[in-house]
A and B are shown apart, each in its own frame.
Chain A
């Protein structure tokens, strides 16, 4: 097995910054990424190259990475992290188009990014219902339009970005529904906008695009059902109150062929959990994220986590956290003096504080209300991999299964391809509704626990595993 001093998992803004900082300081670094080219979801290049502001940022980040002489393996989906039996660090196993491989590294930085938070509603598994992240991948990665008449429903600014991109690509966006109702509590977060000029400008571009295309943005509304024989034909929408409770007396029906849902992001923290990193409960996520110290190190020695994979905050925060983690690794391995490392940390401190403030603002304003978790009915599928419905889950919860792992054992929810990444928080929410009356009851959610992470984190064939020496 090839040995490195540092393995970075994920080549989005955080992973690129981490690998660049460490490697530039002389740390023998490998960067493993699941995509054909570095950049992650944020810098994902379209077929004819990226355009605009992000293109400049992307070029700079990739140039830095190239200068730092990092070993990069693209198309490498990391499925396992194991303590090195020799005691010197960690083994990482990853799948590639030609089979599985493994490397060892003294230290690891997990920059695994995020995935879309899902909220189930009747019909959400119909073809034609997509997440905002999936739509961006389609548009930017392969310039494929998901449909002709599109409804967007969810919460947060990523929706506006997806709607603007869909409009520009030629789709008819019927409406953008924002479930959050802004109240005066938003005012205390105004300070978080300080120093966010480029973000505000980017947001303004989206709004202008939507305005000129006369796309209605309806605040305080949400999709509550998708209907269609074999694919989406119409969407049922209605106003929701501040707690996300639908008022279905005021429901309307829209003829659409595509519904894009985006209820924010959740950290993709499976590898951290698999490595045994301690996690903390985060109410705004309705779930868990790895604990870290000021230098991004988790509770497991030598394992660091940076960016959205540890805490949702966006690309700029990921970049700073990645740089701090990469610098911390370089210092630990003796490639940087304490003083030099301290200078780097001090340099990043203001941006770190600013971006965390902004992340907290987004969390406070755009966390989906608990009422939205009551949209599903007993026939609605909750675990898509194994086809387990709300009714199946309710039955075992009412029979006494009060933790997500008990529900998993009895229903197979969470036992499929995605290992419960999508349904863990949903099942915890269902248990919380049954035991405490609301899906966001923190004590009930914590009592429901979390799934145990297992290797392989992504399915691999028996043959590929057998070929690993």
Chain B
């Protein structure tokens, strides 16, 4: 540690959803806290996110207690944060085109309901009423979740940052962490492309950038990422009568689960249907995904075109809407579908929180969790299944 290092009680690395929430919670808990990011804050893949509060894609074996606890945190959250985050309740339809998808989703629905999560299978006939804009011709039905929602991503992160700053949170954008400062078996700071920082605890909330830091430390941190692409259109309500252009649910394809089972994520630029509408009428169109080493935010021509084609299969009536822009972001995942969440064994003071299935839903809860861990040294929820050690290799 250089003598010039800036000293804090806690360092949070990564200025996306998780980092903003954790840093804010630690500042509120009274710790002097710094939030660092390699780029802007708020930053990372969260800048590219739809803002959906999703439970439908939860991993079933270990994650349901966490997701259940987490989704309840949205009740009263805006009062707690002292400002609007654009929170609203929205349903979710996972569109089913094949018998195989129907069977997969039906099995999931049973497990979700047993855990107390609202979910039901609906036949194609009901979709006319649930989502009039849908072209139902290729659909057998859908898996319907009534209990989901949406926030405005930027308002959500800004609310955490603003609360954090009121409690002394310091922000350090454009400081890329290049190494951890380890003394004995404890982490006691980080070195960045800018300043050096020292602290008693370091929380890594780096999403897809997690493995790169592992490599810098000579370790293998085994998460990967999908380079995902999406587009946004003009607001439907500006062009048409408002009632014509409204989506009542988030829409996505059960093929997300299907392709996971097929295990063919490397097959070029392919798109899986995923469409939401923002509160002010813009359609978010996605998503094309390829597994690459690319951590950039640049779209590809082919990716944008396949998204548009896939979207029109289900929503032909938005063909004339104009696309305002597209983007891409690297989204972390693990092969077992479980997050990297918990203290890192053998390195005291280091906590990892990354590679969640749906990040927004988990965001407020992770802040609480890390604050609890920092102040008590333990967590009331059992994190064994999520332990980062399962993917960490040395040398």
Contacts and interface: CB of A to CB of B under 8 A. Distances in A.
Interface-centre pick from A396, A417, A462, A463 (highest chain B CB count, 10 A): A462
B327 to A, nearest CB: 6
Contacts of B162: 399-400
A465 B304 contact: yes
Contacts of B320: 461-463
A78 to B, nearest CB: 12
A454 B154 CA distance: 18
Given A85-B300, A399-B158, A401-B158, A466 B325 contact: no
Interface string B201-236: 000000000000000000000000000000111100
A449 interface: yes
B155 interface: yes
A419 B325 contact: yes
Given A409-B153, A459-B322, A403 B40 contact: yes
Contacts of B231: 465
A400 B325 contact: no
A469 B305 contact: yes
Nearest to A415: B324
B298 A276 contact: yes
- Contact residue range for chain A? 35 or more
A405 B280 CA distance: 19
A80 interface: yes
Contact of A462 (B40, B158, B280, B312): B312
Interface string B292-326: 00000111111011001101100000111111111
B145 interface: no
Contact of B324 (A91, A449, A459): A459
Interface string A244-281: 00000000000000000000000000000000100000
A233 interface: no
B251 interface: no
Contacts of B319: 461-463, 466
Given A415-B324, A416-B324, A85 B302 contact: yes
Interface-centre pick from A91, A276, A412 (highest chain B CB count, 10 A): A412
Contacts of A392: none
B154 A410 contact: yes
A456 B155 contact: no
Interface string A32-59: 0000000000000000000000000000
B284 interface: no
Interface in A95-137: 102
B74 to A, nearest CB: 20
A462 B299 contact: no
A455 interface: yes
Contacts of A80: 301, 304
Contacts of A417: 234, 322, 324
Interface string B229-246: 001111000000000000
A456 B323 contact: yes
A410 B143 CA distance: 33
A387 to B, nearest CB: 11
A462 B153 CA distance: 24
Interface string A365-409: 000000000000000000000000000000010011101011001
A4 interface: no
A142 interface: no
Given A400-B162, A459-B324, A406 B42 contact: yes
B301 A462 contact: no
A454 B155 CA distance: 21
B136 interface: no
A462 B302 contact: no
B338 to A, nearest CB: 30
A468 interface: yes
A376 to B, nearest CB: 23
Nearest to A409: B154
B155 A410 contact: yes
B300 A82 contact: yes
Contact of A406 (B40, B318, B322): B40
A403 B327 CA distance: 19
Given A459-B322, A459-B324, A93 B161 contact: no
Interface string B28-67: 0000000000001010000100000000000000000000
Nearest to A407: B154
A337 interface: no
B167 interface: no
A100 B305 CA distance: 11
B325 A462 contact: no
A466 B305 contact: yes
Nearest to B296: A276
A466 B158 contact: no
A406 B154 contact: yes
A452 interface: yes
Contacts of A455: 299, 301, 304, 325-326
B323 A454 contact: no
A460 interface: yes
B308 A466 contact: yes
A400 B301 contact: no
Contact of A454 (B158, B285, B325): B325
B322 A461 contact: yes
A462 B233 contact: yes
A460 B325 CA distance: 9
Contacts of A465: 231, 304-305, 308, 323
Contacts of A400: 158, 161-162, 165
B324 A462 contact: no
Contact of B40 (A449, A456, A461, A466): A449
Given A399-B158, A406-B40, A410-B158, A459 B301 contact: no
Contacts of B153: 409
Nearest to A454: B325
Contacts of B158: 396, 399-401, 406, 409-410
A91 B301 contact: yes
Interface in B173-189: 173
Nearest to A80: B301
A460 B308 CA distance: 11
B239 to A, nearest CB: 11
Contacts of B232: 415
Nearest to A417: B324
B27 to A, nearest CB: 13
Contacts of B297: 452
B160 to A, nearest CB: 11
A468 B318 contact: no
A461 B298 CA distance: 20
Contacts of A419: 324-325
Interface string A428-469: 000000000000000000000100101110011111011011
The 8 closest A-B CB pairs, nearest first, are A409-B154, A454-B325, A466-B308, A459-B322, A463-B319, A465-B308, A468-B305, A466-B309
30 contacts: A82-B299, A83-B298, A85-B300, A91-B301, A276-B298, A400-B162, A406-B40, A406-B42, A406-B154, A409-B47, A409-B158, A410-B158, A412-B280, A415-B325, A417-B322, A449-B40, A452-B297, A454-B299, A454-B326, A456-B304, A461-B319, A461-B322, A461-B323, A462-B308, A462-B319, A463-B312, A465-B308, A466-B305, A466-B308, A466-B309
Given A455-B301, A463-B312, A466-B305, 7 more contacts: A80-B304, A82-B300, A419-B324, A452-B327, A455-B299, A461-B320, A463-B320
